[in-house]
Amino acid sequence: MWRRGWGEAMGELRDASIIAQRAADVLLRCGGGRSVLLRMPVPASAGDTTEQLGLAVPSFQDVVLEPVVFRKARATMADGKAAKSELMVSATAVNALVGSMGYSAANVLFATASGVLIDEVLMEIESATESEVGGATYVYRLVLRAPLALMV
């Protein structure tokens, strides 16, 4: 009976994860792919006395996330509760942001974000989950909540 070596099996898993990431990017682009903005707080400035006293106005920066697919959630809404939507985000784009912005992981990036700006509407990130192959994430699923003011 033939048995594969450890290195060969790990190489196949690595290849599978790369293929899954590339396939997810292509599917997101072809499936109505678009770009949205992730609203992030600007890091505090060291030595700024107005910031140390709590007098500085918080600042935000918008960073582009693409490719993404945005859709309304299937669940029906209850009275007085905000509508929910889903955002499927390329892991390639998220990994690039995590690295360039100095975060330790994607879940920290999403927890720090003030929301996602879609068509001039800032939506709150309610939850973030990931799908993975071979230990590597290929897509993130964000559940977003619309502001209650838009429910009228």
pLDDT of amino acid 148 = 62
> What tens digit of pLDDT does each residue of 108-136 get?
999 999 999 999 999 999 999 999 887 88
Average pLDDT over residues 27-52: 79
Average pLDDT over residues 42-52: 68
Give the 3-state secondary structure percentages of the chain, helix then strand then coil, rounded to 5: 35, 35, 30
Distance CA 56, CA 41 (A): 13
| CA distances for 127 relative to 15, 29, 77, 144, angstroms | 29, 23, 17, 7
> What tens digit of pLDDT does each residue of 55-104 get?
666 788 999 999 999 988 755 556 666 678 999 999 999 999 998 988 99
Identify how many contiguous H helices and E strands the chain contains and give both numbers: 4, 6
